[in-house]
Amino acid sequence: MREPAKRLPVRASTSRKRRRWPGRILTVVVLVAVASGLLYTRSVLWGGSGNAVGGGVHIPGTDLVIGARSVHSSGDDAGGIPSSWPPVPADASAHPLGRPPAKASSSHEFAFIATVDGGRPVAWDPCRPIHLVVNAADAPPHGNELLRSAVAQVSAATGLRFVFDGPTTEAPSADRATEDKVRYGDRWSPVLVAWTDPGTVPQLKGAVAGLAGPDGAPYIDADQQHWVSGSVDLDGPQLAGALRRPGGWQVARAVVMHELGHLVGLRHVPERSELMYADTTGRTTFGPGDREGLRQLGLGPCFTE
C-alpha cells in the first residue's frame, strides 16, 4: 500500500480481528496506531441458558483487530477522486444493493473502528458487493458452511452484499495490500479469509481464535474514506476442536460472526451482553447494540462515480 507523506485525522476506535478480543488499529494521522498490538487474552467456559451454549465447549476470549488503515492520497484527477483508485467494477450499482433492517433498538452499545466528521462511521460501499476469497489450508470440517452461515448473518444485519470469488493460495500477511494486480487484477483486493493456525499467524497463539479487520481506500477528502479490503484469520484447528463438542456449531459460528463484525467496521464494546464484547460470554447471536451498529454500517455512501 502506498504511504504518502500527509494524512488527515479521523476519529478511530480500538478493535478489529477477533472474537471478543481488543486489538490493534492503524488509522490516519501519519497512520496512527490507535491500539497497536493490544492483546487481551482470557478463556471462558461456555454454559448456561438463553444465548449460552452447553456441552463444555471451551473457546478463547481474545482477538486482535488488524489493519484498519487509510492514507491521505497525494494525487487526484479532475473529479476530485484519488487517481490511485481502481476502475469501478462491473458489478457496482448506482444504488445500494441491499438495505439493512429497520431500526429496532435504541441501544448505544456499539462502537465503530473509525468515524469521520459528524460521527458517520467509516463503512463499506453499499453499492458494491464485498468480494471474498478463502484460503482453506487449515479449515475444519464443514468450515465452508460455517463461514457462509456467519456471512449470511452479517449480510442480513447490514444489507451489505457478499460474493465468494472462490479459493486462493494467498497466505495471511500483516502487510497485505489493498491492491494486488498480479493476483487479482485491477481492482481492490478481495477480503482474504484464511483458515490458518498459530504456526502461520503467531498472533493466534494462546487464547486467540481469530483476527479480522478492514482496510481503507486512499482519500483526498475525509468524507471519501471507506473500507475496500480486509482480512479474516481464523484458527482452524482450535475451531475444529469446538465443533466436535455439543453446541460447538453455534459457538464456532459466533466466533466467525464476531470477526466479521470487525471486518465491516465494529470494534469491541464494554457491554457483556453484546457479541462484540471483548470476551466470550456464551452469547451466540448479535445483541441489540451489535445490530444497531451493523445497521448503521449498512447505510454508508456509495462511491461508484
Q: Is the pLDDT of residue 53 over 50?
A: no
* Residue 302, in any domain of the structure: no
- pTM score, two decimals? 0.80
Q: How many structural domains compose the chain?
A: 1
Beta bridge partner(s), residue 22: 15
Residues in Cβ contact with 157 at an 8 Å cutoff, skipping those fewer than 6 apart: 100, 101, 286, 290, 291, 294, 295, 298
In a domain, 2, yes or no: no
Each residue of 103-144: pLDDT tens digit?
999 999 999 999 997 789 999 999 999 999 999 999 999 999
First CA to last CA across the chain, in angstroms?
23
Q: Is residue 179 part of a domain?
A: yes
Show the CA angle centred on residue 49, arms to residues 20 and 195, nearest 5°. 35
Let me know if residue 303 belongs to a domain.
no
Mean pLDDT confidence for 205-221: 90
In a domain, 117, yes or no: yes
pLDDT confidence bin for 279, thresholds 50/70/90: confident
Range of the domain at 68: 11-74+93-297
Inside any domain, residue 82: no
Instruction: Note the pLDDT tens digit of each residue in 149-177.
Output: 999 999 999 999 999 999 999 999 988 99
SS3 227: strand
Q: Give the separation between CA 163 and CA 89, rounded to whole angstroms.
A: 13
Residues in the chain: 305
- Residue 27: what are its φ and ψ, rounded to 5°? -125, -170
Residue 187 lies in a domain: yes
70 in a structural domain: yes
| Sign for the pseudo-dihedral over CA of 114, 115, 116, 120 | positive
CATH number of the structural domain spanning residue 254: 3.40.390.10
User: Which three cell numbers, joined as nine digits, stand for 113?
Assistant: 473502528
**115, HSE (Cβ side, Cα atoms, 13 Å):** 15
Helix (H, G, I), strand (E, B) or coil at 304: coil
How sure is the predictor about 67, in pLDDT bands with cuts at 50, 70 and 90? low
Note whether 208 and 66 are within 8 A (CB). no
